[in-house]
Structure 1
Amino acid sequence: MSMAVIGLAAGMALGFAGYFGGFGAFLLVAALGVIGFVVGKFLDGDIEPGEFFRSRDRDRNRRR
């Protein structure tokens, strides 16, 4: 499935949530979408959990 179709589906879901549930539902759907995206990227192997917990200072020292 192309990224355009996924973006269209996400936009429609946010639109329906905002229209029928109000702004709170819009924020809930958006937050759950972001969480789902991150979990999906993790399961695909595109990101690793250590990338979120590693300090930036260690990365700078390691590259030198």
Structure 2
Amino acid sequence: MNAPAIGLVAGLLLALAAITGGFTGFLLALVLGTLGAVLGAQLAGTLDLRALFGRRRG
């Protein structure tokens, strides 16, 4: 799937969450979707969380 198709599916799922769960359901779907995207990017190797947050050495 290309990026616009994934964005379309994500938008439709968020709209469904907003319809069925109200504003709280929408926010929960948004937070969990963002978390899933970040974890997926980490596992795929396109995002390096260590470089993003940095490691502190004492």
Please confirm whether the aligned pair reaches a TM-score higher than 0.5, indicating the same fold: yes
* Residue ranges of structure 1 left out of the alignment (5+ in a row): 56-64
For each residue in 1:4-37, what CA deviation from the matched residue of structure 2 results, as whole angstroms up to 9, or x when unmatched?
1100110001101101110000000000110010
Give, as a single letter, the amino acid of the residue that structure 2 aligns with 1:21. Answer: G
Residue 42 of structure 2 corresponds to residue 28 of structure 1: no
1:50 counterpart residue number: 50
Query: What RMSD in Å do the two structures reach over aligned CA positions?
Result: 1.3
What is the CA distance between 1:49 and its match in structure 2? 2.7
Q: Pairwise mapping of residues 8-19 of structure 1 onto structure 2 (< 5 A)?
A: 8-19=8-19
Give, as a single letter, the amino acid of the residue that structure 1 aligns with 2:32. Answer: L
Task: Find the aligned partners of 2:23 and 2:51 in 1 and give their Cα distance.
Answer: 32
* Secondary structure of 2:46 counterpart: coil
Q: How many residues align?
A: 55
